[in-house]
């Protein structure tokens, strides 16, 4: 608007100039930014975007957000509690390499059932994950397919599942269920005991895709579950009708942008200034997926040693 045109406020935090109080002029300015910067600004974490849009009065009226599922929220709240103190400060434990964790739920799925083809319960599903929110400065440390099992299912004995993954290319013939054009065979075996969440480490599978800036990951996930020990005769029927909710995709990332917290910097800084209090009894979270399995006592003893 004429009122605000002459007055451009330069935002020191992100070094970008935004005209206040006027979305249209903001979009206009955005279009003038170099393409790379425009993308960066659009992906500026929402918290900082709000802070940098100083004149943006009606933030609430922004387009409605898609709401994640309750399971995903529950899992991330649990991760938050493991990674940060009550005051919201990141816990200072050394093996805690990531400073960003993103959880994506599939934005489309295509179910195929081949019950009569194979022994056990086969869940073959095509999943499409849109990873647009991952920025160029967020580097992948680990990626996990996150399955949650219904606790109502009687898991008296272990369930052994095989998971086959393959990448799909989108071909024009079918919008929703593309055919399999090339596949990277990737199979894992995991046991489901009492645990509600099962994490399938697919880092080696996804690393090359994400490294080439692929943001639409289309994969076929084929899970076959057998009750009990696969070596012995397994009773297949009763636990078979277990509902498998399509997995979410969890990415542990290291954000190298200025706004992100760089643990190593502060640890180095603290080593220089020993007066900073050190946290002694923080649980250790192993970003490589060994959550909960490590004996924290052992760790502490070894550290003291």
User: Are 63 and 35 within 8 A, CB to CB?
Assistant: no
Considering only the stretches 66-74, 108-116, 151-159, 280-288, report the one whose residues sit in contact with another protein under the rule CB under 8 A: 66-74
If you write DSSP's letter for every residue of 215-241 in order, what string do you get?
A: -EEEEEEEEEEEES-TTS----SGGGG
Q: Should residue 99 be labelled a site residue for another protein when binding is judged by CB under 8 A?
A: yes
Q: Should residue 216 be labelled a site residue for another protein when binding is judged by CB under 8 A?
A: no
Q: Which is nearer to another protein, 19 or 251 (CB)?
A: 251
Q: Which is nearer to another protein, 49 or 164 (CB)?
A: 49
If you write DSSP's letter for every residue of 41-67 in order, what string do you get?
A: HHTS-HHHHHHH-TT-TTGGGSPPPPP
Determine how many CB atoms are found less than 10 A away from the CB of residue 149.
Answer: 21
Q: Should residue 73 be labelled a site residue for another protein when binding is judged by CB under 8 A?
A: yes
Minimum distance from residue 279 beta carbon to another protein (Å): 12
Q: What angle do the packed helices 35-42 and 23-32 form, to 10 degrees?
A: 140
Among candidate residues 120, 126, 91, 81, the one with its CA nearest the CA of residue 107 = 126
Q: Should residue 27 be labelled a site residue for another protein when binding is judged by CB under 8 A?
A: no
Q: Which 253-292 residues touch another protein, going by CB under 8 A? A: 255, 258-263, 266
Q: Of the candidates 8, 84, 136, 211, which one interacts with another protein according to CB under 8 A?
A: 84
If you write DSSP's letter for every residue of 64-104 in order, what string do you get?
A: PPPPPPHHHHHHHHHHHHHHB-TTSPBP--TT---SEEEEE
Distance CA 108, CA 25 (A): 35
Q: Should residue 135 be labelled a site residue for another protein when binding is judged by CB under 8 A?
A: no
Q: Should residue 301 be labelled a site residue for another protein when binding is judged by CB under 8 A?
A: no
Distance CA 305, CA 301 (A): 6
Q: Which is nearer to another protein, 16 or 236 (CB)?
A: 16
Q: Which 168-197 residues touch another protein, going by CB under 8 A? A: none
Q: Which is nearer to another protein, 59 or 295 (CB)?
A: 59
Q: Of the candidates 80, 181, 256, 298, which one interacts with another protein according to CB under 8 A?
A: 80
Q: Of the candidates 77, 114, 170, 214, which one interacts with another protein according to CB under 8 A?
A: 77
Distance CA 224, CA 247 (A): 14
Q: Which is nearer to another protein, 100 or 224 (CB)?
A: 100
User: Are 90 and 263 within 8 A, CB to CB?
Assistant: yes
Minimum distance from residue 92 beta carbon to another protein (Å): 10
Site residues (vs another protein, CB under 8 A): 45-48, 50, 59-60, 62-63, 65-68, 72-73, 76-77, 79-80, 83-84, 86-90, 99-105, 107, 130, 132-133, 255, 258-263, 266
């Amino acid at each position: 608007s004429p009122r605000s045109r002459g007055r451009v406020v330069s935002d020191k935090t992100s070094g970008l100039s935004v005209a206040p109080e006027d979305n249209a002029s903001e979009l206009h300015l955005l279009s003038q930014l170099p393409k790379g910067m425009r993308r960066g600004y659009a992906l500026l974490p929402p918290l900082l975007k709000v802070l940098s849009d100083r004149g943006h009065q009606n933030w609430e009226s922004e387009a409605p957000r898609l709401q994640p599922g309750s399971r995903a929220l529950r899992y991330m709240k649990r991760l938050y509690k493991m990674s940060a103190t009550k005051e919201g400060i990141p816990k200072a434990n050394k093996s805690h390499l990531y400073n960003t964790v993103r959880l994506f739920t599939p934005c489309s799925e295509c179910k195929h059932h081949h019950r009569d083809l194979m022994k056990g319960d086969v869940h073959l599903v095509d999943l499409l994950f849109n990873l647009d929110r991952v920025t160029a400065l967020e580097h992948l440390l680990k990626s996990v397919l996150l399955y949650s099992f219904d606790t109502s299912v009687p898991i008296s004995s272990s369930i052994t599942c095989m998971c086959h993954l393959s990448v799909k290319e989108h071909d024009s013939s079918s919008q929703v269920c593309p055919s399999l054009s090339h596949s990277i065979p990737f199979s894992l075996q995991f046991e489901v005991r009492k645990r509600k969440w099962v994490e399938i480490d697919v880092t080696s599978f996804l690393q090359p895709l994400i490294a080439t800036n692929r943001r639409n990951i289309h994969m076929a996930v084929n899970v076959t579950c057998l009750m009990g020990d696969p070596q012995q005769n397994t009773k297949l029927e009763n636990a078979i009708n277990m509902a498998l909710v399509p997995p979410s995709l969890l990415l542990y990332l290291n954000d190298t942008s200025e706004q992100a917290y760089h643990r190593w910097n502060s640890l180095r800084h603290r080593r220089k200034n020993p007066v900073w209090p050190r946290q002694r009894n923080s649980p250790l979270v192993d970003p490589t997926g060994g959550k909960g399995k490590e004996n924290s006592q052992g760790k502490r003893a070894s550290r003291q040693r």
